[in-house]
């Protein structure tokens, strides 16, 4: 009788998935709708992906919500985005908490409206003990600015004797990034067919797998997310080494 293997041949899911949510504006414009309609529909995709991440055992999910460059958009669109962010933080935190999701926000908070900062701090406190999934949302975030801020902090520490310059290595530097304590993404997904990083997690994506999909973010579903997980599981990660 043939022995039955108790070891699953299915590779584990990625520990950390990062997503560049792109295409809200194009989705709306293609339907003759204002851009804010695309952002509203995109918020539904966020909920779907969070549910799927929890169900599939992903431990960290980072979403690129609002970049440093997005501050250059028309004031009316920025106002709409901030309004949607307020609604999300007021209405969805209870559901995140129920699902065992911890919320963390990374980026230059001082540029956000003060009431939104207060909502963020409250949401982070409420969910900080949750362990099923850590949801990281990048708001007012830029990868270059993050690296510069870490370098400045370490330079000040070195000047004041808080750290020896020779002791600064990659692990020390990483502890001064917004993502301190969070493992680097295993895979980054970008929607809408664009194939660029757009100043997102420049340090952290050094060895990430990249998956580009044509689907616009408002149409991105749980099935699409699971397709991306399966694509990741088919790949061989080498970290600079040769394959087997």
What whole-number distance in Å separates Cα of residue 67 and Cα of residue 143? 9
What whole-number distance in Å separates Cα of residue 103 and Cα of residue 126? 9
Query: Pick the catalytic residue: 22, 80, 186, 224?
Result: 22
Q: At what angle do helices 75-91 and 114-127 cross, to 10 degrees?
A: 30
Asked if 199 is an active-site residue, the reply is no
Asked if 70 is an active-site residue, the reply is yes
Task: Using alpha carbons, select from 177, 179, 169 the residue that is nearest to residue 148.
Answer: 177
Task: Using alpha carbons, select from 44, 48, 43, 49 the residue that is nearest to residue 66.
Answer: 43
- Within a 10 A sphere around the Cβ of 229, how many other Cβ atoms? 20
Query: Pick the catalytic residue: 56, 70, 130, 199?
Result: 70
Task: Using alpha carbons, select from 46, 64, 199 the residue that is nearest to residue 137.
Answer: 64
Catalytic positions are 22, 70
């Amino acid at each position: 009788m043939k022995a039955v293997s108790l070891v699953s041949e299915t590779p584990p899911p990625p520990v950390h998935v990062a997503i560049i949510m792109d295409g809200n504006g194009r989705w709306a414009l293609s339907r003759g709708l204002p851009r804010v309609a695309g952002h509203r529909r995109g918020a539904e995709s966020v909920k779907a992906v969070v549910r799927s991440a929890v169900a599939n055992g992903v431990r960290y999910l980072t979403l690129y919500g609002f970049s440093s460059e997005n501050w250059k958009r028309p004031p009316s669109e920025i106002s709409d985005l901030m309004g949607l962010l307020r609604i999300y933080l007021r209405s969805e935190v209870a559901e995140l908490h129920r699902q065992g999701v911890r919320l963390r926000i990374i980026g230059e908070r001082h540029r956000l409206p003060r009431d939104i900062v207060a909502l963020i701090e409250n949401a982070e406190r409420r969910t900080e003990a949750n362990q099923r999934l850590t949801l990281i949302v990048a708001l007012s975030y830029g990868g270059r600015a993050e690296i510069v801020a870490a370098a400045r902090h370490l330079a000040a520490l070195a000047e004041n004797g808080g750290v020896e310059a020779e002791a600064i290595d990659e692990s020390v530097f990483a502890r001064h990034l917004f993502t301190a304590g969070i493992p680097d993404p295993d895979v980054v997904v970008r929607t809408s067919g664009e194939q660029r990083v757009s100043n997102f997690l420049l340090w952290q994506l050094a060895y990430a797998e990249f998956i580009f999909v044509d689907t616009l973010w408002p149409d991105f579903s749980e099935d699409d997310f699971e397709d991306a997980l399966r694509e990741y599981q088919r790949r061989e990660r080498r970290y600079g080494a040769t394959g087997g």
